[in-house]
Structure 1
């Protein structure tokens, strides 16, 4: 999804800045599993390109954490922070320290539109986050996933664990008296 996001051959000059911003947002959702609340709370100072990390501040429901950026995210971040963020601020007349200058309080409007363009099957951001957390659970131990997701309680992370249906099916075939 991240690699398929088009930032080249943009028709309108101001669309390039929006495309780069959207690619950065997509990367944060796909690789770091951020939700709308976390994206809205990000500030420029939270991005450490030299270290290749992003600091996600705590919210009412999540813990703060520092996550690594993937190498593919660095160049779009550099372009966005050094050039296109300023252009967006000028266009929107929004000069806050927020990482993503917006002309609306509703960040989810941007993200919903963004994912509908990439993949029409996606209905909301929660699907992306759930998919990322489920993938992490297959790769990392549950405590690492809890940290990466920012969950305060392990039970929040456990909800994303999927039963191994193949093993369950095999157990039923072996143990069920009728089979």
Structure 2
């Protein structure tokens, strides 16, 4: 009999969430010790607003991979969501609440606004699609996300 598989993000009611938000989307013990947490940084409203253009999502990924590490040594990885409505951030278990993630994301996005170029997008040696970037789009998305700063922890608009 096949193992029952549960994918947390498939269980989320995407019609009920209110973007932008920061949500802890996973928390898992690692065999041998330690813990990882996954965070959902939702930039656009699922299924109703235009998605993030791939160039914009790619640039946000690159810049947050850089800036979030300026504010925490507990960042493991940053990646765009396949649905192009947000970004996933994987952390060690030291960042164990959405509030702690917000304290890293807000300065990371403010720092994004200062960039004149996308780090790691200089050449084909540093990025597999180094020409597929939109810095101005990333800045616009960051500004929109930051405009909702007071309600970022209210995933369902409560």
TM range (shorter): under 0.3
Q: Which has the higher helix share?
A: 1
Larger Cα-atom Rg: 1
Q: Which has the higher contact order (CA 8 A, sep 6+)?
A: 2
| TM-score, scaled to structure 2 | 0.27
| TM-score, scaled to structure 1 | 0.25
Q: Which has the higher strand share?
A: 2
